[in-house]
Structure 1
Amino acid sequence: MLFSRSLEDDKANGDKVAEPSAAGQAVQKQNSPRGMSAATVARFQATDAERNALTFLAYDLDVRLVPRQESIAVRARLRVRNDGDKPLERIALQLSSALKWEQMRTAGAGVSFAQHLLDSDADHTGAVNEAVITLPRALAPQEELQLEVLYSGQISLNGERLERIGAPTAAAEKSDWDRISADFVGMRGFGNVLWYPVSAPPVLLGDGAKLFAEMGKQKQRQQQATMKMSVTAEFTAEIATPNLALLNGHVVPVVETAAPENSHAGVITASLPETTLGFSAPSLFLLARRKVQGSGVQIFAAAEDVASTQSLQTAVREVTPLVQQWLGQKPNALLTVVGLAEANDAPAEERDVFLAGFKASPDPHELDNAMVHSLAHAYFASPRPWLNEGVAQFLGSLWVEQVDGRKTALESMASERGALSLAEPATPGETGGEDLLDASDPVFYRTKSVYVLWMLRDLAGDAALAAALRSYHPEQDTTSDYFERLLEKASGKDLKWFFDAWIYHDRGLADLSITGVFPSKASVAGQWLVAVDIANDGFAEVEVPVIVRSRDTTVAERLRVPARGTVSHRMLIGSLPTEIQVNDGTVPEVAESIHLHTLTAEAK
């Protein structure tokens, strides 16, 4: 099953570095290869600039698995490009620290390389095995290179990176459940387990949100890359024969080419034709599951979990009317749910597939929230992450609003606003930040996108926003203003100013304040005129709700406040005003997103 190794290739590979020290090295050494002298480091350690310069254009993976031994061997044909501004005399490729580079070739000849361990939480072991390849000649900017590499090892259940920052072993393994085992083969990509070659700077959990930001960057850089995959696996009669292959989020047929007999293992194969990766990381799942279909969902569950699928189907039925109201009556694809190994394993998504453990008595509220998000993906897809993920998150917030009320939905959004505020640049255009069109960090394409869609909901109206989403066609989204034009057509409003401030550019968040309140009796008996001065110290123009309350009356109007500017507005209310409110939480701000000013004493 495993690929044989050529001694001639071993000689050609040349440099071999001393065995690295055991995993568990101090985190502060993450930028230095383990077990290497300073001279060796200078010779073989890649720089972050070299790592960031390499873009993968095509993967062709021939994967061999022996699940009972937790083993994997891969022959990978890679096409890469130098997207840096300088020639590359060497390139760096990384795998999980549990895997070993065996051979590397380009243009039919072996190439010299050295491999070492590097602390990085891009892999669940908390380290990567980096191969630094000396090229026969420098790779010029925008020049492409084809490589053939061979690597192998074992992918076991491993929660080391989470344990390193204090997580109990059981909790760590419920989150980092990726592994190859006799009854479960499941490997997500970058940020979980590096079972395929990548090139990225080392990142650590606990160092802000750098790991999650890098996960997004990797997806964005490789979204036009193609992936072709062939999987061959051995299995024995003691374990149920795998009948489900999920490759890069695609359900593909499993073929049994040889049945197990006596002491001989059986063999199954599965293959994925060349497909574009899109905004996702390569993944591989090989499982024995029973298919249950109904209520607009197909579920692949372990035999012992089939009875638990009824609650999931019930959840899909409950959330479907809301999804159809906003996204149309017909899904683009059938919602697919795949059962994980353990009931409490952390759920995940692979493209349009929802992965979760099946609990005997699940929390219906928790299940509904998960299903509305996943079902939204089945009904709506976009090549732009801010829409693809943002719309699913938006539908999730609408479900919370429907079940628990608007206040709870906005409070749920507000719990994520702090992270967004930290990620936004203090001075837009100078440091940090991402415009939504090109966002790769989830704090932007998820958190900020939900806020943007809520603001568009208030600007255009529910009916117009729903109409624009229903008329959206991903294959037609080839220009930056495509969605803007759909929404302007549906609403009859000019929204250019908003898209310019919140989507096409990253101008940070609003920073509103009430700078003055001036109540006075109106000419009509019993009525009051309230003048409100509002300042926006942020760089993004907004339209914000302004609310005046009395003991028995509430008046609300919407007011557009320019960036770095102030505006004065007068509102009429039918009785003594007691309170002014600016913003209700729908407009994200640098700090708090609700401003209150008590008026009772002044009004009297």
Structure 2
Amino acid sequence: MIRNKTLRQHAFPVALFAALASTGLRAQSPEAVPAEPAPPPGQVLFSTDAVKAAPASTTAPDKAPDTPVTDAERSSVAITATDLDLHLAAPHAEAQATLTIRNIGSAPLVRIPLQLSSALRWQSIAAGSASGLRPVPFTQSPIATDTDHTGYAQEAVLTPVEPLAPDATLTLTIFYAGDLRQSAARLELLGSPADRAAFADWDQAAADWIGLRGFGNVLWYPVAAPTALLGDANRLFEVVGQQRLQQESATFHLRLTVEYAGEAPSVAIFNGRTQPLDKLDDTQDAPVAETHGVATADFGTHPTGFRSPSLFVPPQPAVVTGGELLAVVTPISESIEPLAAAAAEVQPLLQDWLGPTPTQPLTVLDHPGQSFEDDALLVTPLDPNATADDLSAQAVHGLAHSWLRSSQPWINEGVAQFMNLLWIERKLGRPAVVAELQHQATLVALAEPDLTTPKASATESSSQSTELGQPLVHSSSEVFFRNKAAAVFWQLRDIVGDDTLKRALQAYRHSEQLNPAFDTDPKAFQHTLERLAKRDLNWFFDDWVYRDRSLPDLTILSVAPRPLPDRPGKNAGYLVAVEVHNEGDAVAEVPVTVRNGTFTATERLRIPGGGTASTRIVFEGAPDQVQVNDGTVPELRNSIHTREVQVKITRP
């Protein structure tokens, strides 16, 4: 009795399908639905009668709308809540979804486009109202887009009873089904070799592995998004980032049912959250190979966060190792040791900067495909012949997410990337990390906007941004929320010092653990750091975090050495005046160094955007070079500036 009750909680409600049929959906078909044969005797573990109860007529045949859908229409639709019942019997998927749709455009929507993978088909769509569910007419047809690994999405274009007004919402109940097989068609269409394409596009629901990475890889849940093709410059990655940003506050509730044969899966991982599966079978006394059953999990309603919703069901339980730093799923136990050694090697760095212990282990799924991460989840190929040095960079980044997590992407990813930089410095030295910072600065400079371009006028649609670039608090590109954010933390390290930044990161982590809503305030980290540093930092955060003022662009205007008068017991020296201009719009605080051979003297200088600043440095001896910026503050062009100094020795 308990088993049957639990199973019904994860089956599709037959009554709902019956309600849809009784409201007129059946009338769309010229043929009557044949009666189902009586079920065979015995206990039913899981029934798909709910899906069968929806008449075949509810599945619209492929028919493109008379007027093509525009990306402007697609961009005006936001899904603010998803409640999904998903049943997987590999490779088949059947699902019921309740969606809350919002019009985020400036004009009423007379039709609403939604997309799934082209491997799936829309079966029925109904809208909720005070009188119950009402079927909504729709067409469906494939559209070319590389947001799905097949290179196409199955787009349903539905016509609401009344146009959906701006900012109004509509609740839809949807049924869809199909096979989620591995496909690399989008890459093969571009001429990629089949093996390389399969290495990148590995998403599938198979009997021994379920891995679905979501928007940008496989559309296993309904979405509303513009089209994007891989051959169109950076368009696909921009659309993926924008979709993540738009959906980060949307909620998602997943009820999962997985049919299995043989060894039952033990856990499911949804959006980086691991949950045990409840297993039910009717063959307890049979050998494992002959066991059949279902495994279920209920992932309660949570904000999606800055991610594409992902789902994994690994084939075996994880092995917890590395002092509980790691939870590794791999068929080759020898693959664990190199990763555990790498984790142990980077652990002292993470403890020093982020606190004594992680908040959770890093879950690692050994899978022979392109690596994927989602907070403290890492899907990557493991090699038993690898060394700790081979894996240390991957380990420090992944474990940083185990130590600290934030709902602010620039903090969540920026801190992890910052830990990578600190590891390079510790392992390879200062020159190596400066070279890496300069490489990342080049990527950021290429992505930054041209601030000389006129901004959008105030009369333009409110859905269009009037601000150029990507402020870190609203960034959707990895170049910004990883590379530029890491550069921000590196600069803060130089501005406030190592000890203060360490205490701020640990205090921020502690506050977030006590109150997860703490870091929903985009200024929470600034306030934490200012409290501990006992200084105002708004001048920095305003240009580098809350606004995108591009990057600084420094030039040495003048260097003027002046001999100092002789002083008893002191070497004769010079007062070196250095004037620097910032052609860029972002403020820069950089080191200014005077040197002669190995002897140096350094002062920090803050140069406002579009402004000029100067400093005077007392230097014992005759200076022969001045350097402004040491490569650690990213600039639009060079991030190291030098000027040779020639002085005339006039003293007797």
Q: TM-score, normalised by structure 1?
A: 0.89
Shift of 1:384: 1.0
User: Contact (CA 8 Å) 2:209, 2:313: kept in 1 or not?
Assistant: yes
In 2, the alpha carbon distance for the partners of 1:194 and 1:534 equals 52
- CA spacing shift, 1:529–1:206, aligned 2, 3 Å: farther
Give the letter for the 1:469 counterpart.
L
Match of 2:577 in 1: 531
In 2, the alpha carbon distance for the partners of 1:241 and 1:576 equals 76
Match of 1:137 in 2: 162
Match of 1:493 in 2: 535
Shift of 1:478: 4.5
User: Contact (CA 8 Å) 2:408, 2:522: kept in 1 or not?
Assistant: no
- CA spacing shift, 1:347–1:17, aligned 2, 3 Å: closer
In 2, the alpha carbon distance for the partners of 1:551 and 1:366 equals 37
Match of 1:597 in 2: 643
- CA spacing shift, 1:95–1:547, aligned 2, 3 Å: same
Match of 1:543 in 2: 589
In 2, the alpha carbon distance for the partners of 1:117 and 1:280 equals 25
How do 1:202-217 and structure 2 match up within 5 A? 202-217=227-242
Whether 1:297 aligns to 2:325 is yes
Whether 1:359 aligns to 2:383 is yes
Equivalent position to 1:236, from 249, 252, 261: 261
Q: Deviations over 1:315-359 (max 9, x none)?
A: 11111111111111132223322222x2xx222112321222221
How do 1:393-432 and structure 2 match up within 5 A? 393-427=417-451, 430=455, 432=468
User: Contact (CA 8 Å) 1:578, 1:603: kept in 2 or not?
Assistant: no
Whether 1:273 aligns to 2:300 is yes
Whether 1:454 aligns to 2:494 is no
Match of 2:208 in 1: 183
Q: Quick check: which has more Rg, 1 or 2?
A: 2
In 1, the alpha carbon distance for the partners of 2:53 and 2:334 equals 54
Q: Deviations over 1:342-391 (max 9, x none)?
A: 2xx22211232122222111242231111111211111111111111111
User: Contact (CA 8 Å) 1:9, 1:103: kept in 2 or not?
Assistant: no
Shift of 1:399: 0.9
In 2, the alpha carbon distance for the partners of 1:163 and 1:514 equals 51
Whether 1:565 aligns to 2:601 is no
Q: Deviations over 1:138-191 (max 9, x none)?
A: 111221111111222222222233334443222222222211222111001111
Q: Deviations over 1:203-253 (max 9, x none)?
A: 22243433223222222222222222222222233xx43222112221112
Shift of 1:84: 1.7
Q: Which secondary structure does the structure 1 equivalent of 2:630 belong to?
A: coil
Q: Which secondary structure does the structure 2 equivalent of 1:135 belong to?
A: coil
How do 1:303-452 and structure 2 match up within 5 A? 304-340=331-367, 342=368, 345-427=369-451, 430=455, 432-452=468-488
Give the letter for the 2:361 counterpart.
L
Whether 1:516 aligns to 2:580 is no
Q: Would you say how many aligned residue pairs link Structure 1 and Structure 2?
A: 573
Q: Deviations over 1:93-128 (max 9, x none)?
A: 111122222221113222111222222221122222
In 1, the alpha carbon distance for the partners of 2:184 and 2:626 equals 51
Shift of 1:536: 0.4
Give the letter for the 1:413 counterpart.
L
User: Contact (CA 8 Å) 1:553, 1:573: kept in 2 or not?
Assistant: no
Q: Which secondary structure does the structure 2 equivalent of 1:100 belong to?
A: strand
In 2, the alpha carbon distance for the partners of 1:41 and 1:592 equals 54
Give the letter for the 2:319 counterpart.
V
In 1, the alpha carbon distance for the partners of 2:51 and 2:135 equals 12
Q: Which secondary structure does the structure 1 equivalent of 2:161 belong to?
A: strand
In 1, the alpha carbon distance for the partners of 2:637 and 2:648 equals 27
Equivalent position to 1:586, from 632, 636, 640: 632
Give the letter for the 1:367 counterpart.
L
Shift of 1:74: 1.4
Match of 2:95 in 1: 74
In 2, the alpha carbon distance for the partners of 1:578 and 1:119 equals 62
Give identity over the alignment, percent: 38
Give the letter for the 1:348 counterpart.
F
Q: Which secondary structure does the structure 1 equivalent of 2:332 belong to?
A: helix
Give the letter for the 1:589 counterpart.
E
How do 1:50-89 and structure 2 match up within 5 A? 50-67=73-90, 70-89=91-110
Give the letter for the 1:105 counterpart.
A
Give the letter for the 1:141 counterpart.
P
In 1, the alpha carbon distance for the partners of 2:387 and 2:164 equals 55
Structure 2 residue runs of 5 or longer lacking an equivalent are 1-46, 456-466
Match of 1:33 in 2: none
Give the letter for the 2:88 counterpart.
L
Give the letter for the 1:572 counterpart.
V
Whether 1:471 aligns to 2:507 is yes
Q: Deviations over 1:491-550 (max 9, x none)?
A: 122211111111121111101112223334433464233332211001111111111221
Whether 1:101 aligns to 2:122 is yes
Equivalent position to 1:17, from 37, 49, 62: 62
Match of 1:484 in 2: 526
In 1, the alpha carbon distance for the partners of 2:181 and 2:610 equals 54
Match of 2:268 in 1: 245
Q: Which secondary structure does the structure 2 equivalent of 1:88 belong to?
A: coil
User: Contact (CA 8 Å) 2:282, 2:293: kept in 1 or not?
Assistant: yes
Q: Deviations over 1:458-508 (max 9, x none)?
A: 111111111111111233234343222211121122211111111121111
User: Contact (CA 8 Å) 2:328, 2:336: kept in 1 or not?
Assistant: no
In 2, the alpha carbon distance for the partners of 1:556 and 1:485 equals 29
Shift of 1:10: 5.0
Match of 2:461 in 1: none
- CA spacing shift, 1:167–1:316, aligned 2, 3 Å: same
Q: TM-score, normalised by structure 2?
A: 0.83
User: Contact (CA 8 Å) 1:114, 1:132: kept in 2 or not?
Assistant: yes
User: Contact (CA 8 Å) 1:13, 1:110: kept in 2 or not?
Assistant: no
Q: Which secondary structure does the structure 2 equivalent of 1:138 belong to?
A: coil
In 1, the alpha carbon distance for the partners of 2:430 and 2:150 equals 42
User: Contact (CA 8 Å) 1:297, 1:337: kept in 2 or not?
Assistant: no
In 1, the alpha carbon distance for the partners of 2:613 and 2:97 equals 61
- CA spacing shift, 1:104–1:591, aligned 2, 3 Å: same
User: Contact (CA 8 Å) 1:259, 1:267: kept in 2 or not?
Assistant: no
Q: Deviations over 1:398-444 (max 9, x none)?
A: 11111011221222232232332232221178363121222222222
